[in-house]
Amino acid sequence: MSRLGDSPIWQSFRRKPAGLIGLAIVIVILLAAILADWIAPYPTHAGPIGDFAAISAPPSAQYWFGTDAIGRDLLTRILFAYRLSLELAAVVLAIATPVGVVIGLLAGYLGPVPSWLLMRLTDVFLSIPPLVLAMSIMGFLEPSAIHGMMAVTAMWWPWYARLTYNLTRAERQEGYVLAAETVGAGLPHILFREILPNCMPSIFTKMIIDVGFVILIASSLSFLGLGAQAPTPDLGSMVADGAKYMPDGWWLTVFPALAILLVVMGFNLLGDALREAVDARR
């Protein structure tokens, strides 16, 4: 802890109120998602069955965010939906980042032909609007949370390929890379032991911001009915379902919508402040 406290990045980060607010939001949401089983007021409402005595109840002291058309507590469902969203984002980034980073490293370090091929491949993926690409992949799969995850992963790696490519291009002329080449270091050593560590801060801060944006895209897919299916609690499909009860059942739409806004904004603020702190150190 003392090492973290002394690090220049933390010293710079702690002076940014926006970043600290983001950090607070992220910690609260992470805790809420992990502890959902214990802190949710009606844990059984995460499934298909609600309380038929309390159908479509507006927000009250008993149900803070109200209940839905079959009497399920909305707050409970949002907490469990956070858990699903965060799991999804973690899986997507855990797969998309290494793939993109390896392609970016290779394209940035190797000669012009492999570099041209790899970056044109990246361009092809980037020339289809992200949501449309994910949707078209869903077109060949049955809608479900897992398939949604696969579709988002397939569209996410090119961003890391492009970022890592640009970073690698900047690093490959640095003295330490030339030194490693001179002593005859192999390709994997140069890419992963020399260049990659210097790209890590930028990649890592992008990952933090992207947690929010993966959740945003995934909720967009499920809003269109192409993601998690009922009765799984999911932020996007909750907004879509709630829209059917507008304007009288406004809470069914407004609270899940605000929940998406909060999580995306939290990771955005945190990631931005981290990036500024990392850049300031350089």
Partner 1 sequence: MPPLLKTLLHRLIASLVVLAGVSMLMFAIARLIPGDPARIALGPNATEEQVRILRHDRHLDQPVPEQYWFYVTELAHGNLGNSLYSNRPVAVDIAQYLPATLELVLTSGLLMVAIGIPVGILSARYRGKIGDHASRLLALAGVSTPAFVWGVILQLVFAYMLHLFPIEGRLSTAITPPPLVTGFVTIDAILSGNVVALVDAWHHLVLPALALAAAGIGQSARLTRNSMVETYQKPFIEMARAYGFRESRIASRYAFRPALVPVLTILGLDLAALLGNAFLVEAVFGWPGLSRYGVEVILHKDLDAIVGVVLIISTAFLLANIAVDIAVAIVNPRIRLAGGR
Least gap, CB of 270 to partner 1 (angstroms)? 12
Which region holds residue 134: left if phi is over 0, alpha if psi is between -120 and 50, else beta? alpha
Binder of partner 1 out of 123, 174, 181, 279 (CB under 8 A): 123
**∠ CA 8-25-277, rounded to 5°:** 20
Here the tokens at position 282 are: 């350089």
Q: What CA–CA distance (Å, rounded) separates 105 from 96?
A: 14
222-251 footprint of partner 1 as x/- string (CB under 8 A): -xxxx---------x--xx-xx--xx--x-
Strand pairing partners for 73? 67
Binder of partner 1 out of 15, 120, 189, 193 (CB under 8 A): 120
Least gap, CB of 67 to partner 1 (angstroms)? 19
Q: Contact, 161 vs 103, CB < 8 A? A: yes
What are the percentages of helix, strand and coil residues in the chain, rounded to 5? 75, 0, 25
Stretch that binds partner 1, among 39-47, 86-94, 191-199, 221-229 (CB under 8 A): 221-229
> Can residue 220 be called a binding residue for partner 1 (CB under 8 A)?
yes
| Residues in Cβ contact with 7 at an 8 Å cutoff, skipping those fewer than 6 apart | none
Q: Which of residues 185-214 bind partner 1 (CB under 8 A)?
A: 212
> Can residue 127 be called a binding residue for partner 1 (CB under 8 A)?
yes
Binder of partner 1 out of 93, 96, 167, 260 (CB under 8 A): 260
Q: Contact, 176 vs 258, CB < 8 A? A: no
Nearest CA to 162 among 204, 203, 200? 203
> Can residue 280 be called a binding residue for partner 1 (CB under 8 A)?
no
> Can residue 145 be called a binding residue for partner 1 (CB under 8 A)?
no
Binder of partner 1 out of 133, 149, 196, 278 (CB under 8 A): 133
Q: Contact, 19 vs 273, CB < 8 A? A: yes
Q: Which is nearer to partner 1, 57 or 269 (CB)?
A: 269
Q: Which is nearer to partner 1, 109 or 267 (CB)?
A: 267
By CB under 8 A, name the binding residues for partner 1. 120-121, 123-133, 135-141, 143, 212, 216, 219-220, 223-226, 236, 239-240, 242-243, 246-247, 250, 253-254, 257, 260-261, 264-265, 268-269
